[in-house]
Amino acid sequence: MRTAIVLTALKVETKHVLRHVSNVEQEQVRTTVFHVGRYLGETGEWRIAVAELGPGNVSTAMAVERATQHFKPDVALFVGVAGGLKDVSVGDVVIGTKIYGYESGKVEDEGFKPRTEFGRSSGSLVQWARAVAHADGWQGQPRDPATGESRAILPGPIAAGEKVVASIRAPLYHFLRQQYSDALAVEMEGYGFVEGLAFVEDVRGLLIRGISDLLANKAESDEAGSQDIAADAAAAVAFEVLSRLPAPAQNAGSASSPAPLPIVPTAAASVVEIAEIAPGRFAWTGAVTLADAGRLWDKPSPVGLLRIAVRPDAPPRLRHALLRLLCHAGPDSFDVEILDHDRWRRDYEDCLDQRMPVNDTPEWTASWRACPPLSPGTSALGETAAEFSRRIEAALDRWVLDALDAEIRGCINGTRTGRRHGITVEMDLGERLLELWDRWKAEMDEPTRRRFLEMLASIHDGEGKPHGLIGVGQHTLGKCLVPAAILALVVAECGNAVLHPDGSGPLKPHHEAPGNLASTSLRGHSCGVRWVGGKPMEHWLGALEELPWKCRVVILGTVHSQQDLARARQRSIGHQTPDGRLTDNSLSHPIALVFDCGFSEALEKGHKAVEQHLRDVFRARLQEQTRYLERLTNPTKQETVLHD
């Protein structure tokens, strides 16, 4: 039986929600009392836990976390009433696609300047709400009692804050219409709801609001019973969405997840077999095709058993491709049968210790067993080790790029991804970054894509190391690849005035050494490494006389302090061209950019602020160089003694 938590703020909202729930009993979770019962929908029975939280975003966020930990729901809904801002009528229902936290901002002499934060409802639940909106004649469908017409169900943005907006003449109303002109409604709990869900894994959330007033004459509308009308409509839509939501068993074999077909007699539907079927010839058979190798990293994995009938002394590129597949799989995703599993296990653990750019990857807890003899009846053709390795790498790269795309969009759009990384991007700049990212993706062929991803997870910007791709996968996505990729976008988008004297910018990904970004006159490397050779990045920086990069601009996505960077004891960076710009020839040593407070604040302010920050960084480095040269040519007595 699936579980849903349904949260409300007001008594009238709770009343209409509970009309859909049977066999209700009370259950206390810390200080919150839940009404727990049953609801039978078209696709199965639900366990429903309903709680009335009172108004406010903060208390809602806390309750969401407690409720999800206790009930472990499949979905979470917030159902209630809201004031209409535009394009809605009393009794309509708004599905919150984007929820603005409009209280966030900065107060300056000129007044309040909003710094928009927002979250989103689950995309799949929004789509089911859209399906409900297009349907007609379903039981309980809210209708206008005067005309009999169905109420409108409108997906759209909602503004959420700590204030009750009760008049269209209030300054706050005009502020919302000006700053959040696409918002359909305003309320007090929605942002806390999505914020709370942002820190919960695998729980989809949906915000559903019935319009109880249009802010003008709010008190009169409430007295006329508009809150009952709105709460009833919102609850009806919420439970119709639950009623239609497919049960997990119904998703199997859908168009997006086709039913797996066994390819060889010995490979069951949940088995993938990778085998050397003839000397130097390799084949992939089973539940998931080679072209979809990245699906082994899905949660849950479609594979129950991975059988690797390949010796650990296979060609290095193939060995590293298979180790990459294993290093980024979930620790309990599937069992492993493998030839000479003790040797493979040692190589696997060495990769986690030495080759992964993060140090907190989970240990493998699934069983490793000796692989049985090769099954008869597999293909006698197969592929060479080089081609087989390339196809595995390409499939894994596509998986990573798709996941990276989703994370980058979430980060720039202000969803939980950005908050998790501490990255907040001004809206106009964010749109420009996404446009640039779309161009990059469209221009990336297979070698470019591989080179770009490899450099995000590597400290080496010269010729790629044989094991360079091992760090590119599921376990390094959020902690390593995302910050480095976003900062690469920022420097490419905002660095033209400083970095591209020939006008050839912006920097683009490329597959040639060194680095992963280039114009015709400058090379750069965006690096997200947090852990190198068993030691943190900061320790590694401080242990070297100078940075080893050949690139002239190095962007360190996981170094957050200039003090850490200063420990590297960099040499002089060379000189700027007369117009103040930089080229490879003008930089004798790399100049490094870190994601410190200055960079973070500039991102929040926009393009011009980032551009100025880059100028300030380069200017500061040139000043350091000048002082360094002066000390060499005119040392003090103390410096002379020390030098001797």
Residue 232 binned pLDDT confidence (cut-offs 50, 70, 90): very high
Distance CA 83, CA 155 (A): 15
How many Cβ atoms sit within 10 Å of the Cβ of residue 37?
17
Distance CA 185, CA 83 (A): 5
The pLDDT value recorded for residue 596 is 78
Distance CA 164, CA 56 (A): 10
How many Cβ atoms sit within 10 Å of the Cβ of residue 179?
16
**Are 208 and 239 contacting, i.e. CB atoms less than 8 angstroms apart?**
no
Reply yes or no on whether the pLDDT at 506 is more than 80: no
Window from 34-43, 301-310, 571-580 with minimum mean pLDDT: 571-580
Q: What would the mean pLDDT of 91-100 be, rounded to a whole number?
A: 92
Distance CA 269, CA 294 (A): 17
Q: Which residue has the tokens 């980032």?
A: 610
Tokens of residue 252, six digits: 């199997």
Displacement of CA 255 from its chain's centroid (Å): 25
The pLDDT value recorded for residue 503 is 53
Local structure of 100: helix, strand or coil? strand
Distance CA 234, CA 627 (A): 67
The pLDDT value recorded for residue 76 is 95
Give the contacts of 164 (CB within 8 A, at least 6 positions apart). Answer: 188
What angle do helix axes 123-134 and 226-244 make, rounded to 10 degrees?
Answer: 110
Q: Which residue has the tokens 């990384």?
A: 421
Bridge partner residues of 207 (DSSP) = 78, 96
> E strands along 550-609, which residues?
553-556, 591-594
Q: Burial, 43: exposed, middle or buried (Cβ in 10 Å; 0-12, 13-18, 19+)?
A: middle
How many Cβ atoms sit within 10 Å of the Cβ of residue 103?
15
- Digit-coded pLDDT (tens) for 52-90: 999 888 888 888 988 998 999 999 999 999 999 988 999
Q: What would the mean pLDDT of 175-184 be, rounded to a whole number?
A: 83
Phi, psi of 205 (to 5 degrees): -130, 150
Which residue type sits at 428? D
Which among 20, 45, 48 is positioned nearest to 35, based on CA atoms?
A: 48
Q: How far apart are the first and last CA of the chain?
A: 79
Give the contacts of 10 (CB within 8 A, at least 6 positions apart). Answer: 52, 55, 80, 81, 227, 231
Tokens of residue 596, six digits: 């410190």
Q: Where are the domains of the chain?
A: 2-250, 271-381, 388-631
Q: What would the mean pLDDT of 249-257 be, rounded to a whole number?
A: 39
CATH top-level class for 2-250? alpha beta
| Helix, strand, coil in percent for the chain, rounding step 5 | 40, 20, 40
The pLDDT value recorded for residue 80 is 95
- Digit-coded pLDDT (tens) for 195-228: 888 777 778 999 999 999 888 777 777 777 889 9
Distance CA 640, CA 148 (A): 94
Window from 60-64, 233-237, 249-253, 284-288 with minimum mean pLDDT: 249-253
Give the contacts of 182 (CB within 8 A, at least 6 positions apart). Answer: 156, 157
- The helix (H) or strand (E) run that includes residue 97 is strand 93-101
Which among 532, 559, 393, 524 is positioned nearest to 459, based on CA atoms?
A: 532
SS (H, E, C) 41-65: ECCEEEEEEEEECCCCHHHHHHHHH
Which of residues 260 and 509 earns the better pLDDT score?
509
Distance CA 535, CA 462 (A): 22
Mean pLDDT of the chain: 80
Which among 643, 590, 635 is positioned nearest to 617, based on CA atoms?
A: 590
The pLDDT value recorded for residue 627 is 62
In eight-state DSSP terms, residue 567 is: T
- Digit-coded pLDDT (tens) for 443-499: 888 889 999 999 999 888 876 666 778 999 999 998 889 989 998 999 888 887 776
**Are 4 and 75 contacting, i.e. CB atoms less than 8 angstroms apart?**
yes
Pair type for strands 591-594 and 553-556: parallel
Q: Which residue has the tokens 């420990």?
A: 567
Q: Which residue has the tokens 């409604």?
A: 185
Distance CA 558, CA 596 (A): 9
Measure Cα distances from 232 to 38, 78, 128, 225 in Å. 18, 13, 19, 11
- The helix (H) or strand (E) run that includes residue 276 is strand 271-278
Q: Burial, 209: exposed, middle or buried (Cβ in 10 Å; 0-12, 13-18, 19+)?
A: buried
Give the contacts of 435 (CB within 8 A, at least 6 positions apart). Answer: none
Vertex 320: Cα angle to 315 and 323 (nearest 5) = 125
Phi, psi of 229 (to 5 degrees): -60, -45
Reply yes or no on whether the pLDDT at 420 is more than 60: no
Reply yes or no on whether the pLDDT at 586 is more than 80: no
